[in-house]
């Protein structure tokens, strides 16, 4: 088997240590790397910087390591729906860099493309612009720097042994961009298929950006809200 394939989350995440900067895919609970997060919760690490859209939600996902006090800084675009993050922030137990969502994804994309920084009008005249360079184009724009990470932990539906990935629908979200922006990308998948079983035109992320893959099992695949109605 190709050397990118690992047998478990424990084996694949072996070198994540205290002080690491980690990007974690997912939008709310959609597409989160469940098994990698479970493994982080079992590791003796601290002082992590997490880059993720909302650092978990409804008490699940990244909240597991948030409540353990392992996250020192969160770079995210959304706090709503995450009372654990809100509480830790108000109690001054965590530093938060709140980034507009479009800027958040573009900062990650820029890192993957080798772009060091870019100008955007988003956030000008607000707290987002504090201590940032302003340049006048057709309108005032602020300078935003690319977001890099030591590790990206993401989830895909399928991978081949060379790390070519296929994501299921909106579970893709930020994950391909994060894989490109990190030094080491660790992918958990529901299926590992033979090389060639993912059609070239269906590959959402080439294996060039993937260093490690492993197959996860027993997924919860939580949803954030369950609506029911009485049958008449």
- Per-residue DSSP letters for 65-120? HHTTT-EEEEEES--TT-HHHHHHHHTT-SEEEE--HHHHHHHHHHHHHT--EEEE
If you write DSSP's letter for every residue of 12-50 in order, what string do you get? HTTT--TT-EEEE--BTTBT--HHHHHHHHTS----EEE
Mind listing the pLDDT tens digit for each residue in 52-75? 999 998 889 999 999 999 999 999
Comparing 46 with 225, the larger pLDDT belongs to 46
**What is the C-alpha separation between 131 and 30, in angstroms, rounded?**
34
Mind listing the pLDDT tens digit for each residue in 126-149? 999 999 999 999 999 999 999 999
pLDDT of res. 31: 93
Q: Binning pLDDT at 50, 70 and 90, where does residue 80 land?
A: confident
How wide is the angle at C-alpha 65 spanned by C-alphas 60 and 68, nearest 5°? 115
- Residue 117 bridge partners (DSSP): 145
pLDDT of res. 28: 87
Q: Binning pLDDT at 50, 70 and 90, where does residue 225 land?
A: low
What domains appear along the chain, each with residue ranges and CATH number? Answer: 18-114+146-215 (3.40.1080.10)
Count Cβ atoms below 10 Å from residue 54 Cβ, excluding itself: 22
Q: What percent of the chain has pLDDT over 90?
A: 88
Q: How far from 222 is each of 16, 30, 42, 57, CA to CA, in Å?
A: 26, 8, 20, 10
């Amino acid at each position: 088997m190709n050397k990118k394939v690992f047998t478990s989350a424990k084996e694949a995440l072996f070198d994540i240590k205290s002080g690491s900067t980690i990007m974690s895919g997912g939008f709310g609970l959609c597409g989160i790397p469940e098994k990698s997060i479970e493994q982080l919760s079992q590791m003796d690490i601290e002082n992590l910087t997490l880059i993720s859209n909302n650092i978990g939600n409804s008490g699940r996902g990244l909240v597991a390591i948030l409540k353990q006090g392992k996250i020192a800084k969160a770079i995210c675009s959304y706090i709503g729906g995450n009372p654990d993050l809100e509480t830790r922030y108000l109690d001054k137990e965590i530093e938060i860099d709140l980034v507009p969502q479009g800027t958040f994804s573009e900062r990650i994309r820029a890192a993957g493309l080798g772009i060091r920084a870019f100008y955007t009008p988003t956030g000008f005249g607000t707290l987002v612009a504090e201590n940032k360079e302003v340049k006048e184009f057709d309108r005032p724009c602020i300078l935003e720097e690319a977001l890099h990470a030591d590790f990206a932990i993401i989830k895909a539906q399928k991978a081949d042994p060379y790390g070519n990935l296929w994501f299921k629908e909106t579970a893709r979200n930020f994950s391909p961009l994060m894989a490109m922006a990190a030094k080491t990308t660790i992918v958990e998948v529901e299926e590992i298929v033979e090389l060639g079983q993912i059609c070239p035109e269906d590959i959402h992320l080439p294996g060039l950006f993937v260093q490690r893959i492993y197959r996860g099992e027993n997924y919860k695949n939580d949803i954030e809200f369950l609506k029911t109605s009485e049958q008449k």
